[in-house]
Structure 1
Amino acid sequence: MSLWQWLAVAGAVVILVLAVVAGILQYKVHQLNRARKAQQQELEEANQAQRERINKSIQVIAQAVGSDDITLTEASIRISVLLDSLGVEDPVREEFSAFYELKTATDHIPILQAWKELSTKQKFKYDRERTTQEQFHEKAVVDAAKRIRGRQF
């Protein structure tokens, strides 16, 4: 066999090896793309499930507005936080601004552990403030609660 034939055979072997390596790498890329798509699908499904849970929470709270189950302040705080967690657009925030307004008007009132640490006199003072704000915003908050019922965001 001549030198040129050996070089041709060696070249063919090198090309074959490179083709096999390229095929293996292409298969691995294909597998990674499939795994990435599956992971993306799972994330989208989890995100949709979370959105549905948040929307359901909004509906439950909106239904409770006007009953003795929840104060207007608590409903406003919860609904506004849930709407924000959904990333609603400004027109939605404006449409349901009553929740945000009452929340802002009562933001200074301590909650949770800070509330527990207040004296009875301080609690009474904040309760009066909260009640006053709720009376001022009641019509708008109740109306917003009625309008938000059945809506999905």
Structure 2
Amino acid sequence: MPITLLLTLLALLIIAGLGWYALRLWRQVWQRQAAVRDNEDERNQRLAEDIEFLTNSLVTRQVPVIEGSIRIKVLLDNYSGALNSQHDCEIFTLIYDATAHIPTHQAWKALSPSERKLHEKHMQQLEEEHGERVTAAAGQLSRGLSNP
């Protein structure tokens, strides 16, 4: 056998081996992408259920307007699934931004009674001013994130 034929066969064998290896690597990439999509779909499903639960709780007054709005806004920020563009989600951001300066948890407990009263008054004003819009927006979301 001439040397060029042997080298050509060797080259073809190497190319076939590299092609097989590349295909194997691409299959791994496709499997990982599918797993990421599945995880994101599951995550979005859990978030959608949590959002619907919170909005139902807000509509039925089981959770305060301010607290519910803040929680819904955070969940919506993490949700990447289908969301009807007609839903009024801006109100949750408005409430969140308007209360961002208010301390929480241990910092709230450390406030003086007069400071707490000022924050409570501010939250009461927000609830009076935007409560109906928040309840209406929560009502929309409680019927499903992609439903009008």
TM-score, normalising length: structure 2? 0.85
2:7 is aligned, of 3, 11, 14, to 14
Conservation of the 8 A alpha-carbon contact between 1:109 and 1:126 = yes
The whole-number CA distance in structure 1 between the counterparts of 2:98 and 2:47 is 24
CA RMSD of aligned residues (A): 2.3
2:97 is aligned, of 99, 104, 118, to 104
Instruction: Give the corresponding residue for 2:39.
Output: 46
The whole-number CA distance in structure 1 between the counterparts of 2:47 and 2:74 is 10
Conservation of the 8 A alpha-carbon contact between 2:69 and 2:96 = yes
5+ long unaligned stretches in structure 2: none
User: Counterpart of 1:123 in structure 2: which amino acid?
Assistant: R
1:35 to 2:35 alignment: no
Instruction: Give the corresponding residue for 1:4.
Output: none
Conservation of the 8 A alpha-carbon contact between 1:106 and 1:133 = no
The whole-number CA distance in structure 2 between the counterparts of 1:78 and 1:34 is 40
The whole-number CA distance in structure 2 between the counterparts of 1:92 and 1:114 is 37
Conservation of the 8 A alpha-carbon contact between 1:98 and 1:141 = yes
The whole-number CA distance in structure 2 between the counterparts of 1:87 and 1:94 is 15
The whole-number CA distance in structure 1 between the counterparts of 2:33 and 2:80 is 20
User: Matches of residues 108-127 of structure 1 in structure 2 within 5 Å?
Assistant: 108-127=101-120
Instruction: Give the corresponding residue for 1:5.
Output: none
Q: Alignment partner of 1:95: what SS? A: coil
CA radius of gyration, larger in: 1
Deviation at 1:135, TM superposition (A): 1.6
Deviation at 1:94, TM superposition (A): 6.9
The whole-number CA distance in structure 1 between the counterparts of 2:110 and 2:61 is 25
Q: Alignment partner of 2:2: what SS? A: helix
Percent identity between matched residues is 23
User: Counterpart of 1:149 in structure 2: which amino acid?
Assistant: S
Deviation at 1:79, TM superposition (A): 1.2
Corresponding residue pairs, total? 145
Higher relative contact order (CA 8 A, sep 6+): 2
